[in-house]
Structure 1
Amino acid sequence: MALHSAAAHSSDQVLPFRESLLAMIGIAFVVMLVGLDSTVVGTALPTIVAELKGFDLYAWVATSYLLTSVITVPIFGRLGDYYGRKTFVIVSIILFTGSSVLCGMSDSMLWLVIARGIQGIGGGMLVGTAFACIPDLFPGAHVRLRWQVLMSTAYGISTAVGPSLGGFLTQYWGWRWVFYINIPVGVLSLIFVWKFLPHLRHRDPDSKMRLDWPGAVLIATSLGGLQLFVEMFPKHGLSLVMLGLLAASIASFYALWKWERYTSHPILPFNLLFAPKLSALFLLSVLSGFTMFALMFYSPLLYQGGFGLSPQEAGLLITPLVACITISSIANGRIIMHLKNPITMLYVGFALLALSCMGVVISHRWTSHSVIVAFMALGGLGLGLILPNLTIFIQQEAGRENLGIATALMQSLRMIGSMLGTAITGTLINHMYANGVQQALDSDKAGQWFSSFADPQILISHETQASVLKQLADAGHNGQLLLEAARQSLVGSIHTGVSLAVAVAVISLFLVRRVPQIKLQGKIEHVAAGE
């Protein structure tokens, strides 16, 4: 397709209706690809761990994806501005779909973690480029907002069906299909994007391109070092290796701060990050990502490993969480423009999110499923008020000249919060579960079976349960009591881990007071695609 210059189009819509529709269908499939993957994997993960036997790497399945995404979102966002986005969207679809196949072929947790890291590169490219194609196609805000309904619908459908689909595929086809399901969606995305998405370029091709590669490396080393420290600390304590790892992470953060202050095109612009009007909003982006992923990632493990539900049943319980995000977002768009103080929606959102996390903490095996569904729905309604409004407020306060970099920074910070949420919560859960199981086994003088109980997969895999229970019975132990003790340890550890998410949500609620008064005058001119 011929190269277009975005500057050459002054109308509200670059292409005629038919071509615009076909191009947007391609982007809609891309949005579905990202939305589906973000929700379908969580439901299947307890079963994956049960088969691959690597509970110590449970959180890494998410954090490896998020870590690589954090780095690639701003990099390819800038490259897309300079070279045009179409090529990068095509490459990202191929990379994301191909790495999904690698994930499905995994025969160990380490393989899966590495494959998810590769998939995160593709996911970061998708977020950094595909979503930005919509303002390219529709320069006029009024037209863009009408087309945005298609994106919201695509994202809503994919996230709503994700948990249930993940449970169904895991239970009846096997967990590998939660990754293979990306193949048909990826192929459809590729066909439509290749044929119908125009190649738009915003900048003069003769201008010099600068990319902050040192900043990208420093972000990777600082966040990667911090993540390793958080996950390894319970096992190794303050050993010399751990102190060295922490020191390296702190040194990388400091070097990043110094470097980004003086480079001309920083990947992490600290002057924008600490701007008085934006700093509180950026901090809330980190905290919302922390709470959201702690809730979404460990609820399936609680319902399957702790409550003994099937993957499909757990998926159905999680579905209201993601479905209500879309419902609440649509309602929010109709309400917020009529409020004198739009920040009120953040107060309501974080309050609902805190109540949802508290509902997970107080739930137990005999809690009515309707009550669990209600608490999950509250979380979705809260996130539907938090996520789009943080985007709107940040874009409104950043101004048109900083719109792109502010939006990319917000997405990256949310991913960082998500990464920290899964890593810190996961480390706490791992440590508490192992201690609880060890105490139960020692009290029954069955400590030699710790290796069989150390991974909660025994609570999910009926085959493993039968084998271990037979061994315990032959040795004169009551295996059912020990299994129940392990189950209670898992429930207690997840309750404690999600309690941390409750605390973060409550802290966020108080931090909303630091957000300056927001005035939304007329139509929102700066709403980013995909949010």
Structure 2
Amino acid sequence: MAVHTAAHHSSGQVLPFRESLLAMLGVSFVTMLVALDQTVVGTALPTIVAELRGFELYAWVATSYLLTSVITVPIFGRLGDYYGRKPFVIASIVVFTAASVLCGAANSMLFLVIARGLQGIGGGMLVGTAFACIPDLFPDSVVRLRWQVLMSSAFGIANAIGPSLGGFLTQYYGWRSVFYVNLPVGLLSLFFVWKYLPHLRHVAHEARMRLDWPGALLIAVALGSLQLFVERLPGHGLRASAIGLLALAVAAGWALWQWERRCPQAILPVDMFRNASLNALFTLAVLGGFTMFSLLFYAPLLFQGGFGMTPKEAGVVITPLVVFITIGSIANGRIVSRIRNPNLMLYIGFSMMAAACFAVALATRGTPRGLLMAFMIVAGIGLGFVMPNLTVFAQQTAGREHLGIATALLQSLRMIGGMIGTALTGTMVTQLYSSGVQRALDADHATHWLPQLADPQILINRDAQASLIADLTHAGHLGAPLLEAAREALVSAIHLGIAVAAVVAVVSVWQTRRVPPVKLQRKMEPVIHAD
């Protein structure tokens, strides 16, 4: 293997323009692979469960993926810092694509859950290494922000077409095609990464690294317990099993902190958390994830279940959110390198997210669709101003040695924020909706109909609604008003959940002052280029 120090080009990148473009296309296809999978599968889930008959494992199709990916992200982020990222990106594409084929071939829900767990390992490796390839290729943070638009665009396109593509494939080619679609995208990304992504390793890490296995195990226990706690909370409330899981997560987190302080080759460098700037950015990643995922998960339910839109109409209203994340990222790349205080973009971004969430929390069924789309545009631009800057600021602050683990941790913490946000919002929505429906049924002496109205999904399925109204009317109850009362209970519950997300965004604006002024340096650092 020929090893030589890569010459930096005057434009602040390791490779010339053409090679940089081809390498970034490879990384963008990898990003698209993960983003597409996350959005496409959700649409197909009801059909999968209907065929494989395993409703008790419904949540686990998503949970097993999230669980394994959240655990593997920091592990492979650290390994990439030591050995270079290219081998792990290649391995992750192979694992992810092979697991997708296994998911498509599943003949039971248990098989699908296990295959999704394997897919999550590939997804975690991808997120932990692919995102950190960009600062390797573009050491100049100003140049990096411009190139990062390519990755943001791939992410935005995948998120925008994912739900519609999932619906189309499931309807015309069956749910298995939703997993098989990863095969061509995986092969395409494998070709570009294998051929054009250079194998860059940092000069400082010439010695052989010994992996911190106890640290990796404690990360798995801490994040795994937290994920399971969050997953169980909406449906089961604060039962003894949920409190036990939370206690285990806290205990494993404390043990991890103690171990990593003494470990000479810690997988999670504790000194990063002592850095005031990184600490503030990590906090903002959790808070940003909370707001973003609460809005992404519950706005569609509000529009369909609460405002009576069809899935297609709700999709049209939601689409500007994901499209304008990309547009916001492009605008951010142009603005942030030209202003004296780049931190200002975080203030603007979080303020826009807060304003959009408050607006959605006040929206009613009579709010014009155009105005709802305007709220989504504001939220999308706000996210486009926040997400790339958190990543670039963290990479800038962490320095070359901790670049991979800092990038990976930021992604993990955003997911953890999202997990907490969706779980808390979900718990509030479930409790408030149930109590609202219970009150309406009590008033009409129809309490025994609670099981039929207990799941808000009844407010989305129009055929089921017509049938239920007919049954209620036949039994001597006011069918349509009862259903309307359930709808109002759902709207009130989601309004409160999204208002909490708005308050979290306001807290994020306040927290942004903890980030010391970031200077986007045009600093070149030597890397080893191993072909």
Report the equivalent of 2:218.
Answer: 218
For residues 62 and 299 of structure 1, the distance between their equivalents in structure 2, rounded to whole angstroms, comes to 19
- Answer yes or no: is the 8 Å Cα contact 2:26–2:197 preserved in 1: yes
- Answer yes or no: is the 8 Å Cα contact 1:66–1:419 preserved in 2: no
For residues 450 and 53 of structure 2, the distance between their equivalents in structure 1, rounded to whole angstroms, comes to 14
For residues 414 and 369 of structure 2, the distance between their equivalents in structure 1, rounded to whole angstroms, comes to 30
- Answer yes or no: is the 8 Å Cα contact 1:167–1:315 preserved in 2: no
For residues 354 and 59 of structure 1, the distance between their equivalents in structure 2, rounded to whole angstroms, comes to 29
Please list the CA deviations of residues 109-133 of structure 1 after superposition, one character each: whole Å capped at 9, or x if unmatched: 8877665544332221111223334
For residues 220 and 241 of structure 1, the distance between their equivalents in structure 2, rounded to whole angstroms, comes to 19
Return 5+ residue gaps in structure 2 as ranges.
527-531
Report the equivalent of 1:254.
Answer: 254
For residues 147 and 522 of structure 1, the distance between their equivalents in structure 2, rounded to whole angstroms, comes to 15
For residues 66 and 138 of structure 1, the distance between their equivalents in structure 2, rounded to whole angstroms, comes to 30
For residues 162 and 322 of structure 2, the distance between their equivalents in structure 1, rounded to whole angstroms, comes to 8
Relative to structure 1, the CA distance from residue 402 to residue 191 in structure 2 (aligned partners, 3 Å threshold; closer, same or farther) is: closer
Is the aligned partner of 1:399 residue 2:396? no
For residues 391 and 174 of structure 1, the distance between their equivalents in structure 2, rounded to whole angstroms, comes to 38
Relative to structure 1, the CA distance from residue 340 to residue 234 in structure 2 (aligned partners, 3 Å threshold; closer, same or farther) is: closer
Report the equivalent of 2:7.
Answer: 10
Please list the CA deviations of residues 351-402 of structure 1 after superposition, one character each: whole Å capped at 9, or x if unmatched: 1000111122112222211111100011111111111222222223333343
> What does 1:378-417 align with in structure 2 at a 5 Å threshold?
378-417=378-417
> What does 1:63-82 align with in structure 2 at a 5 Å threshold?
64-82=64-82
Relative to structure 1, the CA distance from residue 30 to residue 236 in structure 2 (aligned partners, 3 Å threshold; closer, same or farther) is: closer
Q: TM-score, normalised by structure 1?
A: 0.84
For residues 72 and 84 of structure 2, the distance between their equivalents in structure 1, rounded to whole angstroms, comes to 16
For residues 46 and 314 of structure 2, the distance between their equivalents in structure 1, rounded to whole angstroms, comes to 11
Is the aligned partner of 1:423 residue 2:420? no
> What does 1:186-197 align with in structure 2 at a 5 Å threshold?
186-197=186-197
Please list the CA deviations of residues 270-297 of structure 1 after superposition, one character each: whole Å capped at 9, or x if unmatched: 3211322322122111111111111112
Report the equivalent of 1:529.
Answer: none
Residue 510 of structure 1: CA displacement?
1.1
Is the aligned partner of 1:331 residue 2:301? no
- Answer yes or no: is the 8 Å Cα contact 1:70–1:412 preserved in 2: yes
For residues 171 and 394 of structure 1, the distance between their equivalents in structure 2, rounded to whole angstroms, comes to 43
- Answer yes or no: is the 8 Å Cα contact 1:324–1:381 preserved in 2: yes
Aligned AA (2:214)? P
For residues 483 and 142 of structure 1, the distance between their equivalents in structure 2, rounded to whole angstroms, comes to 54
Relative to structure 1, the CA distance from residue 130 to residue 405 in structure 2 (aligned partners, 3 Å threshold; closer, same or farther) is: closer
Aligned AA (2:504)? V
Please list the CA deviations of residues 196-230 of structure 1 after superposition, one character each: whole Å capped at 9, or x if unmatched: 54555557998432223322322332233334444
Is the aligned partner of 1:358 residue 2:358? yes
Report the equivalent of 2:475.
Answer: 475
Relative to structure 1, the CA distance from residue 190 to residue 336 in structure 2 (aligned partners, 3 Å threshold; closer, same or farther) is: closer
Relative to structure 1, the CA distance from residue 484 to residue 157 in structure 2 (aligned partners, 3 Å threshold; closer, same or farther) is: same
Relative to structure 1, the CA distance from residue 484 to residue 57 in structure 2 (aligned partners, 3 Å threshold; closer, same or farther) is: farther
Relative to structure 1, the CA distance from residue 327 to residue 354 in structure 2 (aligned partners, 3 Å threshold; closer, same or farther) is: same
Residue 498 of structure 1: CA displacement?
1.3
Report the equivalent of 1:450.
Answer: 450
For residues 311 and 48 of structure 2, the distance between their equivalents in structure 1, rounded to whole angstroms, comes to 11
Please list the CA deviations of residues 33-73 of structure 1 after superposition, one character each: whole Å capped at 9, or x if unmatched: 23334445566778889999999988766555443322211
Please list the CA deviations of residues 59-95 of structure 1 after superposition, one character each: whole Å capped at 9, or x if unmatched: 7665554433222112122333444434432332233
Please list the CA deviations of residues 465-506 of structure 1 after superposition, one character each: whole Å capped at 9, or x if unmatched: 344344434433333333222222222221121121111101
Q: TM-score, normalised by structure 2?
A: 0.84
Please list the CA deviations of residues 423-471 of structure 1 after superposition, one character each: whole Å capped at 9, or x if unmatched: 2222222222223233333333333333222222222233433443444
Relative to structure 1, the CA distance from residue 104 to residue 428 in structure 2 (aligned partners, 3 Å threshold; closer, same or farther) is: farther
> What does 1:107-186 align with in structure 2 at a 5 Å threshold?
116-136=116-136, 148-166=148-166, 179-186=179-186
Deviates more, 1:393-402 or 1:372-381: 393-402
Return 5+ residue gaps in structure 1 as ranges.
527-531
Aligned AA (2:391)? T
Relative to structure 1, the CA distance from residue 234 to residue 129 in structure 2 (aligned partners, 3 Å threshold; closer, same or farther) is: closer
- Answer yes or no: is the 8 Å Cα contact 1:71–1:124 preserved in 2: yes
Relative to structure 1, the CA distance from residue 347 to residue 99 in structure 2 (aligned partners, 3 Å threshold; closer, same or farther) is: same
For residues 124 and 388 of structure 1, the distance between their equivalents in structure 2, rounded to whole angstroms, comes to 19
Residue 138 of structure 1: CA displacement?
5.8
Deviates more, 1:147-156 or 1:384-393: 147-156
Aligned AA (1:407)? T
Relative to structure 1, the CA distance from residue 421 to residue 141 in structure 2 (aligned partners, 3 Å threshold; closer, same or farther) is: closer
For residues 513 and 319 of structure 1, the distance between their equivalents in structure 2, rounded to whole angstroms, comes to 32
Relative to structure 1, the CA distance from residue 284 to residue 444 in structure 2 (aligned partners, 3 Å threshold; closer, same or farther) is: same
Aligned AA (1:364)? T
Secondary structure of the residue aligned to 1:404 is helix
- Answer yes or no: is the 8 Å Cα contact 2:145–2:392 preserved in 1: no
For residues 451 and 297 of structure 1, the distance between their equivalents in structure 2, rounded to whole angstroms, comes to 24
Query: How many residues of Structure 1 are paired with residues of Structure 2 in the alignment?
Result: 523
For residues 390 and 418 of structure 1, the distance between their equivalents in structure 2, rounded to whole angstroms, comes to 16
Aligned AA (2:442)? D
Aligned AA (2:6)? H
- Answer yes or no: is the 8 Å Cα contact 1:49–1:109 preserved in 2: yes
- Answer yes or no: is the 8 Å Cα contact 1:219–1:252 preserved in 2: yes
Secondary structure of the residue aligned to 2:337 is helix
- Answer yes or no: is the 8 Å Cα contact 1:440–1:482 preserved in 2: yes
Aligned AA (1:504)? V
- Answer yes or no: is the 8 Å Cα contact 1:46–1:305 preserved in 2: no
Relative to structure 1, the CA distance from residue 173 to residue 462 in structure 2 (aligned partners, 3 Å threshold; closer, same or farther) is: farther
Relative to structure 1, the CA distance from residue 423 to residue 55 in structure 2 (aligned partners, 3 Å threshold; closer, same or farther) is: farther
- Answer yes or no: is the 8 Å Cα contact 1:425–1:498 preserved in 2: yes
For residues 386 and 78 of structure 1, the distance between their equivalents in structure 2, rounded to whole angstroms, comes to 24
- Answer yes or no: is the 8 Å Cα contact 2:140–2:523 preserved in 1: no
Aligned AA (2:96)? F
Report the equivalent of 2:529.
Answer: none
Aligned AA (1:515)? V
> What does 1:228-267 align with in structure 2 at a 5 Å threshold?
228-232=228-232, 239-267=239-267
> What does 1:94-113 align with in structure 2 at a 5 Å threshold?
94-100=94-100
Aligned AA (1:319)? T
Query: C-alpha root-mean-square deviation of aligned residues, in Å?
Result: 3.7
For residues 472 and 359 of structure 2, the distance between their equivalents in structure 1, rounded to whole angstroms, comes to 35
Deviates more, 1:233-242 or 1:439-448: 233-242
Residue 238 of structure 1: CA displacement?
5.6
Relative to structure 1, the CA distance from residue 518 to residue 129 in structure 2 (aligned partners, 3 Å threshold; closer, same or farther) is: closer
Report the equivalent of 2:91.
Answer: 91
- Answer yes or no: is the 8 Å Cα contact 2:234–2:426 preserved in 1: no
For residues 107 and 501 of structure 1, the distance between their equivalents in structure 2, rounded to whole angstroms, comes to 39
